[in-house]
A and B are shown apart, each in its own frame.
Chain A
């Protein structure tokens, strides 16, 4: 079956289902981040027109909000009873909103879970219940300088080996850098989650009810970062654009670097590789991006779910993620399609996203990530505690905080 025929069939099937659930002449408000430019706005308008053409008589009122103000405005709208029918929602907020009883669970049998990247889908699962659909996604991988690293490492042993080889204090070349040089803190904890996933470990157990910081794979993931510091002096990796200026051989970061590297550093010979994995584990990485949710107070939930489902279909999801939001699609069908056009960096990220592990979905995780996990990283990387001590202490704090 050709791609186009597949899309037509999928759309027809979806709208067969829509017409049985969504009332004729209904209207929904949908809040979304404001697209970056006119091209994004036009693409969004086209998506709306396509949907309304298929869902005759129904209307989607798209309300773009600047990303920086989005969550605050959304909270205020909900507080005064003016919540939209559906909206974008930052991944870590899904658990918060779900536990406040604000979200409508995905109706039974409404979606085919197999079309999604599982990491992206799982960011919507709270207490085993699916409260939203992934719309776009992103993750981190390894950027490497091809002039310094001819063969990117696949395993942690290889990573340490490469680090030893490329480290050159005389030429001020460090082995491994974190984005913008900062370590620890909430940002560092989010980056480090990639290595936890690549260790075969996880931050909380599958049911999100037990802290797993103290398990050996997680401790090993932090020990790996500590070990890498021996070949990555802070004064080098903290320098602005240290990877771009050739002082850092490898760095962990996301696809947001690609455009800048190509436009501002055309002479840099770089590539993207998967996050190296622990020898006995599978690949892994973290995940970011945005989900679509329907509010419990909505009077047109059927239409709202139909709209979100439309946005996850292969063709529309590609438009939404690539053209409107500048992110990656979550639909497996389209993810490795022609749109990548032989772009090795994009292909590497799409491959990496297959191994993405959703962050824990418990209320208050953002704070735990910043204030407890981030602090544990700082303590271990700063040499105040061993990784095991830092993570044991962090686990104890999380257990006290969550009453586990």
Chain B
């Protein structure tokens, strides 16, 4: 009986996996199922099960050491409306939105400019690709240390540069209003991934389009405006969706910038307290795991809505 049930389950599984209800052949499909099973198991064990667990814990009060107590929607309600218990919920959401609004366009433009420059270089392209990609794979602690020096109010390179051109030096990591722009600059410096994707997008544009444009007398700007940008729409859309999700989840750079050496949590005035950093504190500093799980699902809903809007309104194809 069990074997029969298992066989029926496998057949249905195969149908779903192969996507052909009437015409699949069992032997061929077995190979397919073998290929996808590790990923399916990974998804079930390491993604779906923890996600469902987190959803359950979001309805509980749980400090990770005693039994979780079911509290229904209490965590959600108090996160959204109780400014005494959770004074930084909306603040951290605002910080994250501001960061996303500044860092994403800045990274995008930087990545596109770098990709265009590298694309235009005749020799040594690989060197520049590696050089501009290095910040992505550099250890977070090293990045934070280096940028703390660059942003240093007395000896920092940036302030020395500002003074050299007659501008006022800034307290990049000390003045609350400067913190998000400072983080956005670091994000733009780490745009290597987007740059590589843009390069791939540029490489996929057929050369005949440029040739035809040149015959029609198009200059560099016209080629960029009427060929490159439209042909990069799928690439741009992909980077927009993944970039926005990543920006909403920004954590590591803020953590290492402000935590190293016993610093404050989100920097002066909590101006760098991003949503996920706040979530981390609730989970692993205050041991409010139920609250942290609720925060993660609120973020999930926000990202879901924003991503849906992107799919709905942002052009995805060449047309």
- Chain A contact residues, CB within 8 Å of chain B: 71-72, 74-76, 78-79, 96-97, 100, 102, 172, 179-188, 234-236, 238-240, 242, 245, 247, 364, 366-367, 370-372, 374-375, 378, 382, 397, 400-401
Contact = CB atoms under 8 A, between A and B. Distances in A.
Given A185-B266, A185-B267, A366-B285, 12 more contacts: A72-B64, A72-B284, A75-B287, A184-B268, A187-B264, A239-B152, A240-B149, A240-B152, A247-B154, A364-B286, A372-B87, A378-B270
Helix, strand, loop or mixed for chain A's interface? helix
B294 interface: no
Interface in B33-57: none
Contacts of A76: 64-65
Given A79-B64, A100-B65, A238-B173, A188 B154 contact: no
11 contacts: A79-B65, A97-B65, A179-B261, A180-B263, A182-B264, A186-B264, A187-B264, A239-B152, A378-B268, A382-B176, A382-B268
A96 B287 contact: yes
Interface string B238-267: 000000000000000000001001111111
Interface in B205-235: none
Contact of A374 (B149, B262, B264, B284): B264
Contacts of A185: 263-268, 270
B315 interface: no
Contacts of B152: 239-240
B105 interface: no
Given A96-B63, A187-B263, A234-B174, A242 B268 contact: no
Contacts of A71: 284, 287
A247 B152 CA distance: 13
Given A100-B66, A364-B286, A242 B154 contact: yes
Contacts of B261: 179-180
Contacts of B149: 240
B171 A238 contact: yes
Nearest to A401: B84
Interface of B: 63-66, 84-85, 87-88, 148-149, 152-155, 169, 171, 173-176, 258, 261-270, 281, 284-287
A245 B149 CA distance: 14
B154 A239 contact: yes
B270 A375 contact: yes
Contacts of A372: 87
A400 B84 contact: yes
Given A96-B287, A378-B269, A240 B63 contact: no
A242 B148 CA distance: 13
B153 A236 contact: yes
B269 A382 contact: yes
Interface centre among B149, B152, B153 (most CB of A within 10 A): B153
The 6 closest A-B pairs by CB, nearest first: A185-B264, A239-B154, A75-B64, A238-B174, A78-B65, A235-B153
A183 B154 contact: no
B63 A184 contact: no
A238 B153 contact: yes
Interface centre among A71, A72, A239, A374 (most CB of B within 10 A): A239
Contacts of A367: 285-286
Nearest to B154: A239
Interface centre among A71, A74, A100, A240 (most CB of B within 10 A): A240
B318 to A, nearest CB: 49
Contact of B286 (A102, A188, A247, A366): A366
